[in-house]
Amino acid sequence: MQRLTQRSLAARVRRLAAIGAAPGDSDDERLAKATLTLAATLMATLAVVWVATYWSLGLWRSGAIPFAYQLATVAGLVVFARTKRVEVFRSTQLAMMLALPFLLQASLGGFRVSSAVALWAFTAPLGALLFEGVRRSTPWFGAFVAVAVALGVLEPHLNGEGRVPVSIVVAFFVLNVLGVSTTVYLLLRYFIGERARILDALSAERERSERLLLNVLPATIAQRLKESPGVIADSFDSVTVLFADIVGFTAYAEALPAGDVVAVLNRLFSTFDELSDRHGLEKIKTIGDAYMVVAGLPVARPDHAVAIAEMALDLRDEVERFRDETGSALAIRVGVSSGPVVAGVIGQRKFSYDVWGDTVNTASRMEAHGIADHIQVTHDVYERLRDRYEFRAREIVEVKGKGPMATYLLLGRRA
């Protein structure tokens, strides 16, 4: 029951704090508005004690000062809730927080008789610090110091409205000290707690954005882009490019619902991604049911051809395993080429890390002119790998845009 009551109270406080929030407000603006609303509400509520006590003693003028603050605060909150405009409400609240405690102290006859009620004026520079920032809070603190000093100078000349019993003076000393310190503590606790919550949410959002960025760009490229958001382009003298295409997928997909089509591609390409990570390769993109991956960038490595050969053989095994499990007629056709490329980031809103050059075009042609369930490579790749892998030479292949080329089929690893 107690926990339920606490949750209900917390919910009401949140609703009250949000009365001035507008849809377009930033997190900082919402927090400043909420803290101001709660501060004004808390102080207006506590003012009941002073109003009731002073009026019960017949000090009508003195009691009218905190009562006027209550009325002005209620009216200000109503207007603030309707307009969502904080400037006027904030300025009037800070002005009343600063001026009214000093006026009440002067009305009662000075620091001692008023139980140093001017301590409440310190909430004005504190509020300015929370609501308006460091620079704009300085004049408010200066005004607080100046008025406090002036009131001290005028202390001998102040005549109180009437006599206040010693017991009330002592009790109000305690109330003023506890009231100001409790108000300051609660507001700072709320402000710092909400700021921590906002920062945690921003940190989580930043981590989520970081993960999304790393899903699009290599880690080293993402870091360079964050440090210098200009053009990112690099030349690599020697990399190996792999294109893979799932043969028969179009006909296979025609018999499936859309969700199943995406599920199949997701299963296959997720497995391909795991293999790419395992072999230390850089996935460039997928186009329909085609998959492109490169070894040797964005960080150069001397064994790039070997890494791609291992990837190609594993791709063939995975598609064969999928075919056996599902009874489908799917196969994979792979093309591989080695050589120089240019790589870089393109786009402004949707970044893409891509690779260009004759090596890329040749790898694409190796795939397009290849054979299902086989890995076709160029003569250069064959020369790099002939000592570690088994190959079979094909007849001269007429490659679009390249003319007749000697190509080879990668069969497997040497025993």
DSSP assignment of 279-336 equals TT-EEEEEETTEEEEEES-SS--TTHHHHHHHHHHHHHHHHHHHHHHH----EEEEEE
pLDDT at 338: 93
Domains of the chain: 2-211 (no CATH), 230-413 (3.30.70.1230)
| pLDDT for res 192 | 85
Residue 271 pLDDT > 80, yes or no? yes
Distance CA 177, CA 278 (A): 66
For residue 224, the model assigns a pLDDT of 63
Task: Give the residue-averaged pLDDT of 169-192.
Answer: 88
Quick one: pLDDT at residue 52? 92
How much is the average pLDDT of 288-298? Answer: 89
- The reported pTM is 0.57
Residue 313's pLDDT band (boundaries 50, 70, 90)?
very high
- Out of 11-20, 98-107, 303-312, which region has the weakest mean confidence (pLDDT)? 11-20
Percent of the chain with pLDDT over 90: 36
What is the arithmetic mean of pLDDT over 121-143?
89
Q: Are 181 and 46 in contact (CB under 8 A)?
A: no
Say which amino acid occupies 268: L
> Considering only 100-114, 213-227, 340-354, 374-388, which range has the smallest mean pLDDT?
213-227
Per-residue pLDDT at 334? 94
Q: Give the pLDDT score at 31.
A: 84
Residue 305 or 326, more confident? 305
* pLDDT, tens digit, 9 for 90 and up, residues 85-96: 889 999 999 999
**What is the arithmetic mean of pLDDT over 18-33?**
84
Sort residue 70 into left (φ over 0), alpha (ψ -120 to 50) or beta.
alpha
> Alpha-carbon Rg of the chain, whole angstroms?
37
